[in-house]
Amino acid sequence: MNKERIYLDHNATTPLLAEARSATMQALELPGNPSSVHEEGRAARAVVEKARRQVAQLVNADPAGVVFTSGATEAAATVLTPHFKMGKADLTVGQLLIGAADHPCILAGGRFDPRQVTRIDVDHNGQIHLQALEGALAGQDEASRPAMVCLMLANNETGIVQEMGLASDIVKRHGGILVVDAVQAAGRIPVDLKALGADFVILSSHKIGGPKGAGALVCGSEILRPVPLVPGGGQEKGHRSGTENPAAIAGFGAAAEHVTARLADDPERIAELRDRLEFGILKKCADCLIYGAEAERLPNTVFFAIPGMKAETAQIAFDLAGIAVSAGSACSSGKVGPSHVLAAMGFDAEQGGIRVSLGPETSTGDIEAFLSAFEGIVSNRIAAS
C-alpha cells in the first residue's frame, strides 16, 4: 500500500496481513487439486485442512463444521434457506427473521420467499427489539416452525455489538435456528460459536486480513446442514461443490490464526486509539454526532456525522487529504445511498455518516493526521455556512 496514505477503512476491507500473503503465495505454487489422491493433491488438501482448523479456532468451533465459500455473501446465501437436511431427513424452515440493520447480503433473504422474511426492528442503540423477536416467534403458526433467526454480532457501519445472549435465549426457547453474521466481529472481539448458542456463523476472509474471495459458513453441528447452494462434484463434503481455492483459503487460515493470537492485546490497544479519535473529534467539533456512543461497540469503529456537511463531501475531502475513510458502508456501485442502518436506528438517514475503522497497523500518528485533516474540513464547513 502507498505509505503516504492513511488507510482507515478496515470495515470495508482489511489490507492483507504479511502472514496471509506468505501462506497465499506458498499455496499458489502447489500444482495439485485438493481432491486428487496423489502426492500433489494431498499437499493441496493439507493446506485446506490446516486452514479449516485455523478458521474453526477463531470461533471456537469444530473444524468439521467449517465449509469454505467464496465469501460471507455466499455463506449467507447458502444458509438462509428453507431447505435443510437433519441427518438424512428433510427439514423445512418456515420463516426467516432478520435484524433491520443487517448487512444487505442478509436482508436479501437468501433462498426464502420474500413473504417468509420478517425484519425485526432495532432501537436507537442498534439493539434488536427483544420483545418484537419474542412476539414474532411466539406468534408463529405450525407452518412457520422452525424459524430461522439471523442477526449480526457487530454492525459494519456503526460497529455496535449486539447483546446476542438475550436474543439467543429467546431463539432457543422457541426451537429456532440461530445464524450469526460475525463478519465484522471476528478478529476484533472474541467470537465463540458455542457460547453464542449459534447453529451457524458466517465469516469473511478479507475483513480479518486474509485475501478477498474466501469466507466460511461454520456449522455448529454435523447433523443440521443447509441443502447446498452450489451442487456438483461434492467438494467440502458435498456442502459446497467446486474445486477449493487453496491459495485464498490458506491466506484466510493464516489470517485467522494471526488475529486469534492477537485478541488478547489488539482490542484494548485499538480501543485506546479509537477513544483518542472520538475525543479529538468532539473537541474540534462539539456538535458532531457519534452514532451508538452509548452502546457497546467494536473497538475499531467510529461512525459520526458533521452537522451541516454531507458525509460524501467530508469523505472526498479526507481522500484528498490522503486519508481513506468511508461515507457509510462500501457499496458495489461506488455510490453512497441513505444508510438503512441509521434509518433503522431512527436517525436522519440522509445526513449519513463518516465511518472511520481502524486496523492492526493503525498508529497514534495516523489518528493525529486524521484529526488535523478533520480540523481543516470542519473549519471549511463553518466558513461556508
> Is 73 one of the binding residues for ligand PLP (CB under 6 A)?
yes
Task: Evaluate whether 219 touches 225 at the Cβ level (below 8 Å).
Answer: yes
Question: Which residue has 456438483 as its cell numbers?
Answer: 232
User: Residue 183 or residue 277: which is nearer to ligand PLP going by CB?
Assistant: 183
Pick the stretch among 67-75, 190-198, 301-309, 335-343 that binds ligand PLP (CB under 6 A): 67-75
Closer of 282 and 349 to ligand PLP (Cβ):
349
Let me know if 331 is a catalytic residue: yes
From 32, 34, 65, 71, residue interacting with ligand PLP (rule: CB under 6 A) = 71
Say how many residues touch ligand PLP, by CB under 6 A: 12
**CA separation for the pair 200, 189 (Å, rounded):** 18
**Catalytic position from the list 105, 150, 219, 331:** 331
Rounded least distance, CB 11 to ligand PLP, Å: 6
How far apart are the C-alpha atoms of 203 and 216, rounded to whole Å? 5
CB 201 within 8 A of CB 191: yes
Smaller CB distance to ligand PLP: residue 77 or 306? 77
- Rounded to 5°, the CA angle 332-52-220 comes to 85
Site for ligand PLP in 146-205 (CB under 6 A): 152, 156, 181, 183-184, 204
Q: Considering only residues 214 through 233, tell me which ones interact with ligand PLP, judged by CB under 6 A.
A: 215
Q: Give dist(CA 15, CA 2) in Å, integer.
A: 12
- Which of 124, 128, 74 minimizes the C-alpha distance to 99? 128
CB closer to ligand PLP out of 202 and 314: 202
Give the pairing type, strands 301-305 and 323-324.
unpaired
* Best CA proximity match to 100, nearest among 353, 343, 290, 329: 343
CB 47 within 8 A of CB 274: no
- The 46-65 site mask, x for binding ligand PLP (CB under 6 A), equals --------------------
**Window 101-130: residues binding ligand PLP (CB under 6 A):** 103, 105
> Do β-strands 147-152 and 177-181 pair in parallel, antiparallel, or remain unpaired?
parallel
Q: Where on the chain is the footprint of ligand PLP (CB under 6 A)?
A: 71-73, 103, 105, 152, 156, 181, 183-184, 204, 215
Active-site residues, by number, are 331
